[in-house]
């Protein structure tokens, strides 16, 4: 990063009353407890995490592990899927199905039953599953060779790739949606939006086409190198290797490490909004899993919750937050109830929508990862 640029951004940040750029992240607002090997994890590197009914599911490089209460982590055997990297986890809170994306296929775990879907035994397009999301009757799957949509109640599979959609690349890293829209994070292909009503796909690219800087802030996704996406029913949150963006159906907003709001890093592996976290009583937050820690966004600024570690995934249940990192699993609880806690609690209601202060353009937003 050029010194001039740093000075400009630092000055702007100080003037705006926010954290100094380069010292990304406001102080943590959660208390964190680390779960390492001593708790039964086979390795510290955890790539995915999910909470369901009080159970923590950790996707490690050597298989899926579950932690129930004070008991240590125990391995969850996923049928024919070997002890492999678990890249994505997502719970269907209606059916209590846990969907598991691995390097060797897709699995559904529910009350002792595991169903395995691979490219050899089902219509799944590819076994390398980076992201997934159960959406209504479907389970959307982002794979290394396009996306699949599975309807478990009929066994029907659909494939979306460069042949039948405007997919610029076929490396799909993340998917998230509601019964209206589904967003697909395509590495090198920006964000694709699927409209359930019309069945039509739409692309969102970085309008300036620049990897290293953002010429016009809030004009679209920060980059086409998208690493993941989350959709909370109101807003799509898009992580890229060059910053984080949001899209509410009308406008895009962007946050960068050097733009003064405290983003921990531009290299964002994953992002997730806790708007729909079941049983949440604290205010909504949006989370950014970066190479330098876990960022937490309250609508205006980013706090740095877990520092100096590669964070891959985050999940929530009630007021608990869990994060998958290169240094084990972290479990967080809010340090003190917010004065507003409870006022905007609950999920899915209008009042629950986070009030986002649109970030302002401060000059040349540098987004080198």
Rounded least distance, CB 230 to another protein, Å: 24
Helix (H, G, I), strand (E, B) or coil at 249: coil
Beta carbon nearer to another protein, 54 or 342 = 54
Listed residue (262, 228, 223, 260) closest to 369, CA to CA: 223
Listed residue (113, 82, 55, 66) closest to 317, CA to CA: 55
For the CA atoms of the chain, what is the radius of gyration? 19
Distance CA 209, CA 20 (A): 27
Rounded least distance, CB 253 to another protein, Å: 34
Is 282 exposed, middle or buried, given 0-12, 13-18 or 19+ CB atoms closer than 10 A? buried
Beta carbon nearer to another protein, 44 or 159 = 159
User: For the chain, where are the alpha helices, taking DSSP H only?
Assistant: 3-15
Evaluate whether 258 touches 22 at the Cβ level (below 8 Å): yes
Rounded least distance, CB 105 to another protein, Å: 12
Evaluate whether 214 touches 243 at the Cβ level (below 8 Å): yes
Rounded least distance, CB 79 to another protein, Å: 8
Q: What value, to the nearest 5°, has the Cα angle with vertex 217 and ends 314 and 7?
A: 90
Beta carbon nearer to another protein, 163 or 250 = 163
Evaluate whether 249 touches 232 at the Cβ level (below 8 Å): no
Distance CA 12, CA 361 (A): 10
Listed residue (129, 73, 124) closest to 104, CA to CA: 129
Beta carbon nearer to another protein, 61 or 152 = 152
DSSP string, 120-137: TTSS-S-S-EEEEEEETT
Beta carbon nearer to another protein, 148 or 266 = 148
Rounded least distance, CB 110 to another protein, Å: 6
Rounded least distance, CB 256 to another protein, Å: 38
Beta carbon nearer to another protein, 207 or 279 = 279
Rounded least distance, CB 197 to another protein, Å: 10
Beta carbon nearer to another protein, 108 or 367 = 108
Beta carbon nearer to another protein, 143 or 310 = 143
Listed residue (14, 25, 13, 10) closest to 264, CA to CA: 25
Beta carbon nearer to another protein, 46 or 66 = 66
Rounded least distance, CB 95 to another protein, Å: 6
Rounded least distance, CB 124 to another protein, Å: 8
Listed residue (181, 243, 187) closest to 218, CA to CA: 243
Distance CA 224, CA 204 (A): 8
How many Å separate Cα 80 from the centre of its chain?
A: 27
User: What is the dihedral angle through the alpha carbons of 274, 275, 280, 283, rounded to the nearest 10 degrees?
Assistant: 100
List residues binding another protein (CB under 8 A): 94-97, 108, 110-113, 115, 119-123, 125-126, 137, 145, 151-159, 161, 163-164
């Amino acid at each position: 990063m050029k010194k001039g640029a740093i000075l400009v951004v630092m000055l702007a940040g100080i003037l705006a009353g926010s954290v100094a750029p380069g010292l990304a992240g406001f102080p943590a607002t959660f208390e964190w407890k680390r779960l390492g090997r001593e708790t039964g994890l086979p390795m510290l590197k955890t790539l995915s995490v999910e909470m369901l009914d009080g159970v923590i599911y950790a996707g490690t490089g050597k298989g899926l592990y579950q932690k129930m209460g004070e008991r240590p982590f125990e391995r969850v055997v996923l049928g024919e899927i070997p002890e492999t990297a678990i890249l994505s986890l997502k719970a269907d809170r209606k059916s209590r199905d846990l969907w598991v994306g691995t390097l060797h296929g897709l699995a559904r775990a529910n009350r002792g039953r595991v169903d395995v879907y691979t490219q050899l035994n089902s219509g799944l397009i590819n076994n390398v599953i980076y992201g997934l999301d159960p959406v209504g009757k479907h389970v959307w799957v982002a794979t290394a060779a396009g996306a699949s949509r599975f309807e478990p109640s009929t066994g029907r599979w659909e494939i979306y790739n460069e042949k039948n959609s405007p997919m610029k690349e076929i490396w799909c890293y993340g998917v998230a949606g509601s019964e209206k829209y589904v967003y697909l994070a395509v590495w090198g292909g920006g964000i694709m939006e699927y409209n359930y009503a019309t069945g039509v796909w739409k692309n969102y690219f970085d309008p300036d086409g620049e990897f290293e800087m953002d010429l016009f802030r809030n004009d679209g996704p920060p980059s086409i190198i998208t690493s993941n996406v989350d959709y909370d029913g109101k807003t799509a949150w898009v992580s890229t290797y060059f910053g984080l963006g949001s899209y509410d159906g009308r406008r895009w907003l962007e946050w960068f490490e050097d733009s003064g709001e405290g983003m921990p890093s531009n290299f964002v592996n994953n992002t997730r909004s806790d708007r729909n976290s079941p049983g949440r009583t604290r205010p909504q937050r949006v989370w950014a899993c970066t190479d330098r820690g876990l960022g937490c966004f309250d609508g205006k600024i980013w706090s740095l919750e877990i520092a100096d570690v590669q964070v891959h995934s985050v999940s929530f249940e009630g007021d608990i937050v869990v994060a998958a990192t290169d240094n084990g699993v972290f479990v967080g609880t809010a340090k003190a109830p917010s004065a507003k806690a409870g006022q905007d609690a609950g999920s899915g209601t209008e009042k629950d929508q986070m009030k986002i202060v649109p970030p302002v353009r401060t000059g040349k937003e540098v987004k080198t990862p």
